Amino acid sequence: MFDRLQAELSMLLTQMENQPEDRHELYLSLREKLGEMRAYGMPIPDDILELEQQLDSEFSETKI
């Protein structure tokens, strides 16, 4: 289970780099995978946690 989620997470991060126009959709997928990892008590690398916080901040801002 851990290996599968880790591979999916890696794939999402690669897609974020290669397809920045789909960034919000990929962000939602990233949150979903991290939620699964948390539900199973799996460790999440610090750099991924930092990325999640940055993206949370980016997508929670209201644009007028």
Q: Is residue 40 part of a domain?
A: yes
Domain count, the chain: 1
Q: Is residue 63 part of a domain?
A: no
Name the CA radius of gyration of the chain, rounded. Answer: 12
Residue 10's closest CA among 22, 20, 29?
Answer: 29
- Residue 45 has φ and ψ, to the nearest 5°, of -55, 145
Q: Which tokens is 7 given? A: 């591979």
- Profile the chain (64 residues) by mean pLDDT over runs of 10 residues: 83 80 84 92 90 89 58
What pLDDT is stored for residue 38 in this prediction? 94
pTM: 0.72
What pLDDT is stored for residue 3 in this prediction? 85
Q: Is residue 13 part of a domain?
A: yes
What pLDDT is stored for residue 63 in this prediction? 56
Residue in the block written with tokens 């960034």: 23
Helices (H), the chain: 2-18, 23-39, 46-60
